[in-house]
Structure 1
Amino acid sequence: MSHNESKSREITWQEFRTAFLEKGLVDKLVVVNRKTVRVHLHSNATGIYGDSAPSGIFYFSIGSVEAFERKLDEAQHEIGIPGHERIPVAYRDEVSITNILLEFAPTVLITGFVFYMIRRSASGGSSGGGIFSIGKSKAKMFNKETQVQVKFDDVAGMDEAKEEIMEFVKFLKEPARYEKLGAKIPRGAILSGPPGTGKTLLAKATAGEASVPFLSVSGSEFVEMFVGVGPSRVRDLFASAKKNAPCIIFVDEIDAIGKARGKGGNYGGNDERESTLNQLLVEMDGFGTTEHVVVLAGTNRPDVLDPALMRPGRFDRHIAIDRPDLSGRKQIFLVHLQPLRLAAEISGTELDNFAHKLAVLTPGFSGADIANVCNEAALHAARHAGESVSDKNFETAIERVLTGLERKSRVLSPEEKKTVAYHEAGHAVCGWFLEHADPLLKVSIIPRGVGALGYAQYLPPDRYLLSTPQLFDRICMTLGGRVSEEIFFGIEQITTGARDDLEKITRMAFEACATYGMNDVIGPVSYGSRDGAQEQFQKPFSEKTGEMLDGEVRKMINTAHRRTKELLTEHRADVEKVAQLLLEKEVITRVDMIDLLGKRPFAKKGDEMDEWLDKNTKRGESSAPPPMDPPLGAPIAAAKDIPPPPPM
């Protein structure tokens, strides 16, 4: 509506004809924008309708100009207006400011949005904001204002790795101390190790200890669906590091972009990933030693990284972070026990001994596993409305982490329960009378987890090598359950419960023959692990060698089977005792095994648990475990039947 129309009154065609046209009051008509007709009256008629329209102007809307002209001619003809007195009609196009704004509003909004994004990209591009900053690095900057709270004192169990990492921190803090001797700053370090061992935690501690800027980024953040984004982000990352030098860059999970080139074809994302890796290689080899920029990278798959990335001059140090040993686990437990509200009998002066006990009971645990145990213990205490976290809570937590929750809804029939009892008794007795078997801690016939109807838990020492007798004893101990079923129920009554045991002994026997060179017929050769041979398109040995391997593996397992059967036949009465006690108590511990069978008949084969028993268990004491804090007697963890062999 125009400005004039806002001061006029809208009428209909019928009103126009009867009130104005037939009475001869119309001076002229103006068609505005081909949709509105403005009626101008004679000056002597304005007083008559002045109240309704002060300006003497009325208007009505039309559908089309042609229809209006036809209706106007017909109306004037019917009224009898002569041709020379016909009302003049004018045509006019008028522009409304409101209409212009409404028409151009979308364009204005889009233009304003693009301008805002450009300004935001220019001012905050380094932080990853804006559509035009897609090629900018997403690395998070840590400096004195955003200091990480984790320190080296919070990282336990990896003293050697901390010492090597601390050398980078010292170099960046005091470069002159090294440069005056002619030393050059190392370009970078690879932190490698199994998941959960603390690689990222060590990098966080480096950021907390260093008084230099620290840039943290994940390897996956370089990979996008747009071509060229990864290399652009690498360039921007190193440009930011050079501006803030001395500086530390940490790339977590670098295997996302650092895999060896030329594998898996060059299709789609592989080209982009390789371009990103190429740019990373150029940047690491491009900046000078005087710029004081160090690159740390974490990965649990160092074997897949490109050789060019691992060469000296790029990543000079390869720091392996393995699972902690006994002393390392104790230190980690001491760190994670500090925030917990512990029971009086395990806190204070007893905390060190309690951490040592937990470290003994958790062989092979990583730092993440230990943190999970402490958290599960606190959750268990809260779930049962405890005022503090007790020893029993930690026992339950370790058991849950290893084997899962008890399956109370899974009720075994008496026949199945008896079979499981004799099966687990066979494992226990074999482990008790085999010299190189791992020390037994506990045997249970309570169903747990997904498929475990029973389990025997051992405490393997921190062993890094495995000899032929030790491997053979492990195979025999794993076969103990199957052989016990054969002896007591007959070969016709063998159950499917030994499937997991058979898979383990087959894998161990194959690796002994094909990987470790422990077979006289095959000889001192290594064809890789069984899983690795299956993944390859072509086996690394001939068909004849494959048949020979199958024969030697079967021969080794059959020899172990005969030996195990002879052992359990000799100790048939002992297996009977253990099985009956299992049926009665469902869970028996090493204290019960000593009461039933006596101590293991091997000199100098005791572990730290045996030493504790010698100090804390009186001769003739009942076999029932103490109610609260027996490092050995209570049901504490579970490792199904046999732990996997250590890597060779």
Structure 2
Amino acid sequence: MLKKQAQEEGKKDKNGKPKVNADPNVQVYTLEITGRNLLIGASIFIYLSYFFFMSSNDSDSQEISFQQFRTDYLDKNLVAKLVVVNDSYAEVILNQNGKQQTHSDGLWFGIGSVESFEHNLARAQDDRGISEDFRVPVLYTRKTNWTSTVLNILPTGLLLVFMYFMFKSSVPSGKGGIFGMSKNTARKFNPETDVKVKFEDVAGLGEAKEEVMEFVKFLKNPKKYEDLGAKIPRGAILSGPPGTGKTLIAKATAGEAGVPFYSCSGSDFYQMFVGVGASKVRDLFKMARENAPCIVFVDEIDAIGKSRSSGGARGNDERESTLNQLLVEMDGFTASDHIVVLAGTNRVDVLDSALMRPGRFDRHIQIDKPELEGRKEIFNVHLKKLTLSPTIDKDLSGRLSTLTPGFSGADIANVCNEAALTAARMEAEFVELVHFELAIERVIGGIEKKSKVLNEQERRVVAYHEAGHAVCGWYLKYADPLLKVSIIPRGRGALGYAQYLPPDIYLMSAKQLEDRMTMALGGRMSEELHFASVTSGASDDFKKVTNMATAMVTQLGMSKKVGYVNYESTDSDDLTKPFSEETASIIDEEVRRIINMCRERCLAMLKDKSTEVALVAEELLAKEVITREDMIRLLGKRPFPERNDAFDKYLEKRDATESQEK
């Protein structure tokens, strides 16, 4: 590769001193030779040399047939002798008379086999009556064709060289190229320069921080615990849904402890060759012991830690040998190692029991999605990075946390980023509350499909469908609070969109589940009441209703006929039903009974509230989007107090900024 150097370098001699009469117009180029360029150049040179050699040989030698040899040369007494080379072809050596008459040299022909050649040559000379003493002499020799030999081994050599450079480029510097493929690829973070995350930077994970704080205290002052005879847990599993901050809290642990932090993924140990993964595990823990005290974090450990009985692998495969080596390394720790192993996964149920036992991963830290106060803390962290309007709601984080139930930390970061992008797209100077609301709608329901234009009949069907949901939820005690209803198509295939705010609850009664199923059936029942034919728009509603009813019967013990049993299958490889055909028939009957009961209840409510359904549907057709305030104006306040305290605390307030937005 050619690199153009600076003009000043062209003015210097080989000793680095400036030249006296250097021409400023002269451009100096240097050739940078790398292994890959050398490989390509050598290949081109060898192939060009071969073709040149073959073309030059073709001009000096000529292949003839045996019949041509006999007719044109042997019968005319122009042959001095024959030389059989490598039992494969015969070179024709002409006598002086033959050279003068033909002016050709380097003749040869293929012989097939030595026996056939000798037989044909003898018969040709017998036909001419040549005696034994005057026959053409035949010599046998062997020659080595170095060009052919090189070309035979050249593809193999080029393949080996290519593999060498491929492995060298795929392995980080200092790992030894192809000979270092068994080295671990864990990335080391230096506590002084790399790990800057502290616990104060991690919001919404109070309980998890308390759990891992014990690891931090041990790594900072291990003697305090050892003097009392205590042993710190050697490892902890950080489990939870995606985006809840498992990797972040592991890095914050390293930042607080001020020790080296080794980060790698479980898939880094899974290799094509058996034994390489286990070698990488050994190398990782050897490096950790040399740099103790330290923290080793293995993200997505389920890639190698799946249960050996149900992980789908059979025999001595690479994943199983890697897992065995990991078990040995963790069990081989001593109290003086001062090494803590953290592992993250969202599939803790598939991990091998030997990996989860005390002495390896002693602690199981569950990191769930944040609740209201946790979401508020996370919003406070991300809102600091945004340019907010001076007149925005002072308790913006509380309002946004109420609008985002069930969001993880990653979802909240995405909402804040989408709000800033929306503000920039709308040419706004500051990020306003309306930008956050649009961002939340986009994260939940997808982008508005402005190109998807519904005809008037389809708009009426969608409006009455959504009105059925809204009215049922408004008059059902245990339904979630309604915030907004829209009939604008969105990116996730939804022709209508309703935003509810469920509270953070942990127990669901049978009455609450029935109210939710009744509200989910409100869309289809409204279509049946107001149109001659129903549509396919309720398929997702039926899926939700069926799942809830099935869970009530098979898992939650809410069916008297089935009883207090749980038929949920825990083994992913078990393709058989955990109940008999008779029980399956009873389960089907109970699921249908519950759904039909909710259907009759929903149908009766919508018939009784037909005027309210029409009011809401016509309002949707006129405005396309209606809010909770519109519902209160049309139907009056809900006859039940809200079960979500945060709803009244944050959403019932209307400051001057919101009034201006309206």
Band of TM-score, shorter chain: 0.7 to 0.9
The residue aligned with 1:438 is 480
- 2:357 pairs with 1:311: yes
Match of 2:321 in 1: 275
Matching residue of 1:85: none
**Residues 612 and 635 of structure 2 are in contact (CA less than 8 Å); yes or no, is this contact kept in structure 1?**
yes
Q: After alignment, is 402-411 or 318-327 more displaced?
A: 402-411
Residue deviations 1:259-301, cap 9 Å, x none? Answer: 0013355458x71101000000000001211111111000000
* 1:557 aligned partner: 595
1:496 corresponds to which of 519, 536, 540: 536
CA–CA distance in 2 between the matches of 1:603 and 1:303? 39
Residue by residue over 1:71-126, the C-alpha shift from the partner in whole angstroms, topping out at 9 and shown as x without a partner, is 9999xxxxxxxxxxxxxxxxxxxxxxxx9xxx9xx99xx99x99xx89x99xx989
Equivalent position amino acid for 1:415 in 2: Q
The answer as to 2:536 corresponding to 1:509 is: no
Q: 1:363 aligns with which of 392, 405, 423?
A: 405
SS of residue matched to 1:457? strand
1:572 alignment partner in structure 2: 610
Contact 1:241–1:249 under 8 Å retained in 2: yes
1:286 equivalenced with 2:369 (yes/no): no
TM-superposed CA distance for 1:149, in Å, is: 2.0
Give the share of equivalent positions with the same residue, in percent: 61
Structure 1 distance, partners of 2:92, 2:573, is 82
Which amino acid in structure 1 is aligned with residue 631 of structure 2?
M
Once the two structures are superposed, residues 521-580 of structure 1 have per-residue CA deviations (whole angstroms, 9 ceiling, x without a partner) of 111111117xx7998411011101111011011111111111111111111111111111
**Contact kept in structure 2, 1:533 and 1:539, CA below 8 Å:** no
Counterpart CA distance in 2 for 1:560 and 1:209 is 54
Q: Give, in whole Å, the separation in 2 of the partners of 1:343 and 1:318.
A: 43
The aligned runs of 1:452-467 (5 Å cut-off) are: 452-467=494-509
Paired residue for 1:402? 444
Measured at CA, do residues 596 and 534 of structure 1 come closer, stay the same or move farther in structure 2, by a change above 3 Å? farther
Structure 2: how far apart are the matches of 1:615 and 1:228?
64
Q: 2:471 aligns with which of 429, 432, 441?
A: 429
Q: Mean alpha-carbon deviation: is it higher for 255-264 or for 433-442?
A: 255-264
- Following superposition, the deviation at residue 468 of structure 1 comes to 0.6
Contact 2:172 2:185 (8 Å CA) reproduced: no
Kindly indicate whether residue 393 of structure 2 is the aligned counterpart of residue 331 of structure 1. Answer: no
Q: Which runs of 5+ in 1 are unaligned?
A: 1-63, 75-98, 619-624, 629-633, 635-648
Deviation at 1:166, TM superposition (A): 1.8
Alpha-carbon distance, 1:387 to partner: 2.4
Q: Answer whether contact 1:527 1:540 (CA < 8 A) is retained.
A: yes
SS at 2:264 equivalent: strand
| Residue aligning to 2:250 | 203
Which of 414, 420, 425 is equivalent to 1:383? 425
Question: Do the aligned residues in 2 keep the contact of 1:284 with 1:314 (CA within 8 Å)?
Answer: yes
Question: What TM-score do the two structures reach when normalised by structure 1?
Answer: 0.75
Q: Secondary structure at the match of 1:319?
A: strand
CA distance in 2, matches of 1:607, 1:257: 44
Shift, 1:613, TM fit: 6.0
Q: Which residue of 2 aligns with 1:168?
A: 215
Q: Tell me by how many angstroms 1:615 deviates.
A: 4.7
Structure 2 contact 235–363 (Cα < 8 Å) conserved: yes
Question: Any gaps of 5 or more consecutive residues in structure 2?
Answer: 1-90, 102-145
Contact 1:200 1:252 in 2 (8 A): yes
Which has the higher relative contact order, 1 or 2, with Cα contacts under 8 A spaced 6 or more apart? 1
Which of 337, 342, 345 matches 1:299?
Answer: 345
- Residue matched to 1:521: 561
Partner Cα separation in structure 2 for residue 129 and residue 343 of structure 1: 55
Distance in 1 (CA, whole Å) between partners of 2:556 and 2:256 is 43
1:86: which partner in 2? none
For 1:600 and 1:366, how far apart are their aligned partners in 2? 30
Per the normalisation by structure 2, the TM-score is 0.73
Query: Equivalent residue for 1:140?
Result: 187
Q: Indicate conservation of the 8 Å contact 1:431/1:438, yes or no.
A: yes
Between 375-384 and 506-515, the greater mean CA deviation after superposition: 375-384
1:128 aligns with 2:170: no
Partners of 1:396 and 1:125 in 2: CA distance: 44
Equivalent residue in structure 2 for 1:234, among 278, 281, 291:
281
Letter of the 1:249 counterpart: V
Q: Is 1:190–1:317's contact at 8 Å kept on the other side of the alignment? A: yes
RMSD of the alignment, in Å? 3.2
Give the 3 Å change call, closer, same or farther, for CA 443–144 of structure 1 in structure 2: closer
**Residues 148-182 of structure 1: CA deviation (Å, up to 9, x unaligned):** 22221111000111111121111011001111111
Identify which range, 235-244 or 594-603, moves more after superposition: 594-603
| Worse overlay, 150-159 or 467-476 | 150-159
Contact 1:442 1:587 survives alignment (8 Å) = yes
Q: How many residue pairs are counted as aligned between the two chains? A: 522
Amino acid of the structure 2 residue aligned with 1:564: C
